[in-house]
Structure 1
Amino acid sequence: MGDVKCFLETERSNPECAIGVPSSEISSPNSGRSSQLPGLTSATPKTTRTTTTTTTPSRFIAPLPPPPLACPVPGKAAIVATRQGCLDLELDEEVAQVGHNHKRSNPTNHGGGGLDAWLPITESRNGNAFYSAFHSLNSGIGFQALLLPLAFTILGWTWGIVSLSFAFGWQLYTLWLLIQLHESDPETRYSRYLHLAKAAFGEKRGKLMALFPIMYLSGGTCVALITLGGGTMKLFFQTVCEGTTSCLANPLTNVEWFLLFTCTAVVLAQLPNLNSIAGVSLIGAITAMTYCTIIWVVSVTHGRAAGASYEPFQPKSDIAKTFSILNALGIIAFAFRGHNLVLEIQGTMPSIQKHPSQVPMWKGVKFAYLLIAVCLYPLAIAVYWAYGNQIPQNNGMLYALFKFHGKEISRVVLGLTSVLVVINCLSSFQIYAMPVFDNLEFAYTSKKNKPCSRWIRTGIRAFFGCLAFFIAVALPVLGSLAGLLGGIALPITLAYPCFMWIQIKRPQRYGAMWFINWGLGILGMVLSFLVIAGAVWSIVDRGIKPNFFRPS
């Protein structure tokens, strides 16, 4: 409200204050009407006074000058003038800000309304830039980084580095888009990727486009983590017990190792909400950076493997070569994951008009992806330099480390690397399972109109763990489908954010942002279909032993 100028005049002069109140409403002593503006009540009781108006002041008493009332500072309102004086009613900015916060923190559109306070993603909103960095690191780096050198065996040095750099810049740009879109509506916080997709594309179309890739990416990643984590537990056990016959007399089967990993993950999953696993994400980020560093340092230290070649893999036909290249691009796309979680992470932060959540979120993401780049580039380049085309096609760099250096380096290093991989898999399981937990609890709370009890929440998470374990045992090949997973998740990472920006922000037609987002969005969708086709072709051409219910 702009500055309001009000003068308090005495009873000896004109009793009307210049704020637009009619004189008839404030000068009549017997009118019986309130002298205040409608909707405002005075704290003082109403009294009736008889006023004698004189035209000439007393010769002994000097007339009182009309004391001016200081004008209020901008941002405060309002001033009420009456016959008795002017009444200040100050509404501080922070009072209005409280209402603003309430609307943003408890969205009514696409954000779950009052249910947000009951769901694990938005149950706690006390996150900060550090939490953002921890969660982004944990979700953005992990076992998929161990598969990056496989892409170089197909693309070679030049195209491998170019593709990796282009994908890194592209996904960082779409991350920025999602962070900006989180609060694109002043009264709504889109704290889930699915809700933003519905707001951009419509209720039915958004659900159709985003629900399956999001759930497939979260659930498929958890299944792959069970496969890798259980297999790495077995490697650690064999490394520690090497040369000890009594220890290896009755080893656990692969299914039992998977079960052990799943039980550990389910116990850790009892932490109530996304903010409560910030420490788990920090541990997962540290372990991932550590084992990535150990692998590339060991590879460089021991020099090039005998017979290592850098000639790109040459399939039998041109069609097979094309699809192999597309599969390699899918592996690179799969290395940059976490876009299905960025809005969820930002939803754990407080947000007010002066301090929106996008500021600390972007700070945390920039720091996290700086560390991710420091880990991914040396790992991909140094490992490819050390082993060339001899990198195992199905198991990634962890098994290559045991294959090439199992006899050369100490068991302490091998055992430590295995333990770090297991801890990282357990940590990544928590953050990738959180959207699934959130959806299952949303189904319960929206039907029952009450929050999940501790036992219901425990049961939901145990159920998901059992389901993921069953799929890991029934379909143990999911750990080898990095290209296919990358192709399915590619629109979530590279295409949908561009289209959502166009739909919600409405950039100027034929402007720079309009061309950039349309171009990247269409390119992302085309690449997604081609990468999926290439991954399926590579699976058929190379062949994968299904081993249903017999994980090896």
Structure 2
Amino acid sequence: MGTQAPIDHTYDRQRSVKEKLEKPKVIDDWLPITYSRNAKWWHSTFHNVTTMVGAGVLGLPYAMAELGWGPGVAVLVLSWTITLYTLWQMVEMHEMGPGRRFDRYHELAQHAFGEKLGLYIVVPQQLIVEVGVNIVYMVTGGKSLQMFHDAVCWSCKKIKTTYFIMIFASVHYLLSHLPNFNSIAGISLAAAIMSLSYCTIAWTASLHKGVQPYVQYGYGAKSTAGTVFNFFGALGDIAFAYGGHHVVMEIQATIPSTPEKPSKGQMWRGVLVAYIVVALCYFPVALIGYWIFGNSVKDNILISLGKPAWLIALANMFVVVHVIGSYQISARPVFDMIETVLVKKWHFKPTRTLRFITRNIYVAFTMFIAITFPFFGGLLSFFGGFAFAPTTYFLPCIMWLAIKKPRRFSLSWWTNWICIVIGVLLMVLAPIGGLRQIIIQAKTYQFYP
């Protein structure tokens, strides 16, 4: 009888270990955030501009009307400064050492607060922000399409807002299947250019229109309670306008990094340019829009402008292109979360079919909520305070204190605690005004207008 060859258990163990190591890498290469790391600093610029300069900028003159000149200018400048500071903190914390990168917001939170607590704190907030943004952009895109249609074809039969939101959503059923951030770079660039363009149209057309007869700069509400609630809502509008931190870690994850040349250098350069663009968009629109129209300005300044019809139509089409890009940027982390759970936790195979089904369901969900509750102004205020204030104004500061541990009563310590106090006040007060505005609008609202 022949002898049986000995079984090489060592080889089997080595192959098993190799397969276990390769499987997570295959999944990471499939997920939208970690798919590619070859972005440049200018990708950071237009991704951040597209994310931040969104629907909120058109409501800034209205926010100024509810705040007044002094508080309005102070809140605008303070928000620009605080959010730039907290964004710098997140860029710095993306890499805590050579080879250790926090590619997602919740990964940084887990490092700061612990594996479970970090998830519980950040993931709900981040999802509320990103899903909320996508709903608001559905509303904005649909209403801007409607205003474009009405301006171009003023004699045509009126079409329901619901149908325009559905038309806007149809674009995302296609674009959502682009796999990752780098694949939507061209869309994001076009969106960033459009944002600067329609902001320029908004303030230059306002200047051309001139200060309106009988313009008033006092508070428009007829009661003290109304003035206070509107003030709170305006704080939420501004918080919404400056919110873009929910995708900062994910954007930086696309930039290559080495010990000699970490990603934070390119990312910070892109952020600085983006914030200059933000200032060029926000301050002229807010200040000139309020100066021209006073407290009679609408919650979307393009509605206040009205004429010339061709220019307003052009501006609205620019808004549509921009919010298409903004929707896609904010949706990527949501896609990443959904696909991570399905593949890593529930062990689905990472296939195109899985991606096709999940992303279409998500687009359909945001479209349904948008056509059911298209309260543009109230949504800005509510989401701005409830969700954007934590992720933008004070969560980065709390994580900085937990991770960096600056000396007590030092400049860094005081700066972070001041930002935390301001952010918490914003989170508490702003949703009150936004919710009241939604309730008032809901009294006369008919579903699916």
Is TM more than 0.5 here? yes
CA distance in 2, matches of 1:176, 1:331: 23
Query: Deviation per CA, 1:176-206, whole angstroms, max 9, x where unpaired?
Result: 0000010024442111111111221223322
Q: Which residue of 1 aligns with 2:245?
A: 339
Percent identity over the alignment? Answer: 35
Pair 1:536-2:443 in alignment: no
Q: Within 5 Å, give how 1:38-57 maps onto structure 2.
A: none
In structure 2, the CA distance between the partners of 1:315 and 1:497, relative to structure 1 (3 Å rule), is farther
Whether contact under 8 Å (2:89, 2:397) holds in the other structure is: yes
Aligned mate of 1:420, from 311, 315, 318: 318
Question: Is 1:472 the equivalent of 2:379?
Answer: no
The answer to whether the 8 Å contact 2:142/2:164 transfers is yes
Specify which of 81, 98, 111 is matched with residue 169 of structure 1. Answer: 81
- Two-structure CA RMSD over aligned residues (Å): 2.1
Does the 8 Å CA contact 1:475/1:546 hold for their aligned counterparts? no
Q: Which runs of 5+ in 2 are unaligned?
A: 1-20
Q: 2:262 aligns with which of 350, 353, 356?
A: 356
Once the two structures are superposed, residues 158-183 of structure 1 have per-residue CA deviations (whole angstroms, 9 ceiling, x without a partner) of: 22111100110000000000000100
| Match in the other structure for 1:436 | 334
**Larger deviation: 199-208 or 421-430?**
199-208
Partner of 2:11: none
Where does residue 188 of structure 2 map in the other structure? 281
Give 2:288's aligned amino acid: A
Structure 1 residue 513: Cα displacement: 1.3
Tell me, yes or no, if the aligned pair for 1:475 and 1:548 is still in contact at 8 Å: no
- The residue number in structure 2 matching 1:503 is 402
Task: Please say if residues 223 and 469 of structure 1, whose CA atoms lie closer than 8 Å, have aligned partners that are also in contact.
Answer: yes
Equivalent of residue 266 in structure 1, options 137, 151, 173: 173
TM-score with structure 2 setting the length? 0.90
Structure 1's 149 and 325: CA in aligned 2 closer, same or farther, altered over 3 A? same
The one of 194, 197, 202 aligned to 1:295: 202
Rounded Cα–Cα distance in structure 2 between residues aligned with 1:262 and 1:453 = 24
Moved more, 186-195 or 167-176: 186-195
Q: 1:538 to 1:550 in 2, by over 3 A?
A: closer
Deviates most, 183-192 or 151-160? 183-192
1:400 paired to 2:312 = no
Q: Secondary structure in 2 aligned to 1:382?
A: helix
Query: Residue 450 of structure 1: CA displacement?
Result: 6.7
Report the secondary structure of 1:184's partner residue: strand
Determine the C-alpha separation between the residues in 1 that align with 2:291 and 2:417. 37
2:123 matches 1:123: no
Question: What is the distance in 2 between the residues matched to 1:142 and 1:432?
Answer: 11
Paired residues for 1:233-244 under 5 Å: 233-243=145-155
Q: What amino acid sits opposite 1:117 in the alignment? A: D
Tell me if structure 2 keeps the 8 A contact 1:121–1:273: yes
Runs of 4+ in structure 1 over 6 Å off: none
Confirm whether residue 160 of structure 1 aligns to residue 72 of structure 2.
yes
* One-letter amino acid of the counterpart of residue 243, structure 2: R
**The residue matched to 1:508 in structure 2 has which SS?**
coil
Structure 1 residues 235 and 526 mapped into 2: Cα distance closer, same or farther (>3 Å)?
closer
1:44-88 Cα distance to aligned partner (Å, 9 max, x none): xxxxxxxxxxxxxxxxxxxxxxxxxxxxxxxxxxxxxxxxxxxxx
Secondary structure of the structure 2 residue equivalent to 1:349: coil
Q: In 2 relative to 1, CA 187–449 (structure 1 residues): closer, same or farther, beyond 3 Å?
A: farther
Residues 276/228 of structure 1: CA separation in 2 closer, same or farther (3 Å cut): same
Over residues 365-390 of structure 1, what are the superposed CA-to-partner deviations in whole Å (9 max), with x where a residue is unaligned?
Answer: 00011011011100001111110011
The answer (yes or no) to whether the contact 1:227–1:479 under 8 Å persists in 2 is: no
Cα deviations by residue, 1:391-442 (Å, 9 ceiling, x for unpaired): 12xx41122222xx2xxx2x33222112111111111111011111111111
1:514 is displaced (CA, Å) by 1.9
Match of 1:513 in 2: 412
Q: In the alignment, is residue 178 of structure 1 matched against residue 90 of structure 2?
A: yes
* CA shift digits 1:524-543 (9 cap, x unpaired): 12331122233334544x44
What letter is aligned with 1:466?
A
Q: Give the AA of the match of 2:302.
A: L
* Higher RCO (CA-CA < 8 Å; seq separation 6+): 2
Q: How far, CA to CA, are the matches of 1:430 and 1:543 in structure 2?
A: 29
Distance 1:149 1:365, change over 3 A: same
Give a deviation string over 1:232-282, Cα, whole Å, max 9, x none. 212222222234xxxx35x54322221111011221222110111111111
Matching residue's letter, 2:303: Y
Is the Cα–Cα contact under 8 Å of residues 135 and 367 in structure 2 kept in the other structure?
A: yes
Residue 546 of structure 1 and its aligned partner are, at CA, apart by 6.7
1:524 is aligned to: 423
Bigger Rg, structure 1 or 2: 1
- Is it true that 1:256 corresponds to 2:160 in the alignment? no
1:482-493 matches, cutoff 5 A? 482-488=380-386, 489-493=388-392
Distance 1:310 1:479, change over 3 A: closer
User: For the Cα contact (< 8 Å) 2:140–2:376, is it kept in 1?
Assistant: no
Which residue is 2:8 aligned to? Answer: none
**Structure with more helix by fraction:** 2
Q: Is the 8 A contact 1:227 1:258 kept in 2?
A: yes
